[in-house]
Copies of this chain bind each other. A is one copy, B any other.
Amino acid sequence: MDEHPISRYPVPTMGELPEDLRDTIAAVSERTGFVPNVFLALAHRPDELRAFLAYHEALMEKPGGLTRAEREMVVVATSANNDCQYCVVAHGAILRIRARNPLLADQVAINYKKADLSEREQAMLAFAMKVADDSRSIDEDDFARLRTHGFDDEDIWDIAGIVAVFGLSNRMANFLSMRPNDEFYAMGR
């Protein structure tokens, strides 16, 4: 048995995957240089993986007012808040690359309030934490505050949506004891 399995559940081999997922994963692997474990761990249930990838793409790849680095800041802060090892390590790597900053991901993961961020970015993450932990209390004041930092209503939806979808994957990754690939830890440093 593997000393460090990547999931509590069975993990399909590439050959066992449905063709569409095999193609998707091959494309990622070519771009990244390895297959991120999340694809294999979630592929135990192809329909759920497809839905997750579609949701992820709808928020992370779409055009919009948030930069790619900003989106990754939201992912890292949310995933740290939810204590998700896979997502902090993997998206921490992506944040370092997107922000071209080797320090920022660790800062955001430990305590975003002490990170090297602009006031706009601080406001974005404070709102993200409210969506994660106290969505029942979101009100017009939150929208007003974000607008003063230049976010429009579609940007605000993007922030909330990213928190919501990573809240899903954080819980699944914790449930599955999903293990980050060793490669992520040093990427972008």
Q: Which residues of A contact B (CB under 8 A)?
A: 4, 8-9, 44-45, 47-48, 50-52, 54-55, 57-59, 62, 80, 82-85, 88-89, 92, 102-103, 106-107, 109-111, 113-116, 131-132, 135-139, 143, 153, 157, 160-161, 163-165, 167-172, 174-175, 177, 182, 185-186, 189
Query: How many copies of this chain sit in the oligomeric assembly?
Result: 6
Q: Which residues of B contact A139 (CB under 8 A)?
A: 113
Min CB distance A49 to B, Å, is 9
Could you say which of B51, B106, B138 contacts A55, with CB atoms under 8 Å apart? Answer: B51
Min CB distance A150 to B, Å, is 19
Q: Which residues of B contact A47 (CB under 8 A)?
A: 54, 57-58, 62
Q: Which residues of B contact A48 (CB under 8 A)?
A: 55, 58-59, 161
In contact, A175 and B135 (Cβ under 8 angstroms): yes
State whether A102 and B135 are in contact (beta carbons under 8 Å apart), knowing that A50-B54, A174-B114 are contacts in the complex: no
In contact, B174 and A136 (Cβ under 8 angstroms): yes
Q: Which residues of B contact A114 (CB under 8 A)?
A: 85, 136, 174, 177
Min CB distance A71 to B, Å, is 14
Could you say which of B85, B165, B175, B182 contacts A160, with CB atoms under 8 Å apart? Answer: B175
